Structure 1
């Protein structure tokens, strides 16, 4: 039987909010191809579903924790608590381009931060009805089954997730060097995948579906929940150089076996 751990009231609230948002996202997804799509910036899209999902999640969290801060990527339902209050981050649809073009791979993401420390995270895939979650010190889970990253699979047998960045997204190194690293990894790994949702792709490292994932220019809204999920599953997460995630949002999540090999390529 899979190992199951009791869920705290905080995590239960976050999970309920993610399921609520995911249900709204599924209803909007049925109208894909007819929905209005706005560009926040070049190749950075938002739909009415993003706003609706975020507003519903924010309302659910605010009812349960009225004194805590809420910060959503689309600013729907944002509220400020006391300066030292815990803070929820919401990415209502991580993978909006997939969503808007009718590709059924996107996630609803909720993170809970105390200061700069990520203490809880939920990533929900509404199309597959899969729920990844973790609370600091209590392990990572997928639908109630404990997650542990795969050990021992080297780069020659690894599935590596990566971003194919849009112009201006790579901020941590010259774009030409990033492309060189991509090509070198392609020459060594078993295969590479560009799935279109950073949150789900990072969580896939915890589930041993990916041996690593990396992307530059991410926001904490995108990565915070999944970072905790990977760490609680025994994986390694940081910047491309193996240190802390920088302000540029360069994130590298990997198994302990593959992580040093990738850091060596990025820092060569």
Structure 2
């Protein structure tokens, strides 16, 4: 037994400070809580409402507490992604590949197939080539969203570009096209199902659809529980209800090789 001497008190204080330090480590700060974030294609409130059924399902299926979070825009999102703040992430191929290459994240599962982006105008604005938009207002979610990077690639000449109007999310970009506030917008092609009258100027090459990836901080057993729960979404009544609620056709395994090279789209982005 330690005596109540200055040395004994010092040893006890040292042990206490060590234990407190462990509690403050990122991976142990909220033991048992999985921080889950989805890229901000929609506004923050809509994202939280839309994906809550999925977070609740994952909590039940894994026995872990899955906390859904959302960013207000892509700049804020990128800042968090670069720091590896989140344990489970659902986002586009360039972000997925970035985390795999730079932070050691592991892809768990993905929405089937691929996704492209479309450059669209109001039905009454007949534009047939991207070059016709030089000098005109084009809305896009801010950098480094995949839409903004695809738009930049369409106009590599810095003196022959549209007037890029950054908006918080794709829904706002579409609203501004329909209201006439901007001439065009670039948005995920699947969103056009709800806007069939828009004029499509161009559709980009497809990329792997949005993907769930997990932080290396997560225990391998927890990662495996998440992977199995995600892949089981299409096999149970509960899972199918969740897929319907979040408007996903299904979930399939994610092959890491399919993402190689997409992180290079971020090479000109601040913080890369």
Structure with a larger share of its residues in helix: 2
Higher-strand-fraction structure: 1
Higher relative contact order, structure no. (Cα contacts within 8 Å, ≥ 6 residues apart): 2
| Fold match by TM threshold 0.5 | no
The higher radius of gyration belongs to 2
State the TM-score, normalized to the length of structure 2: 0.29
TM-score of the two chains, using structure 1 as the length reference: 0.30
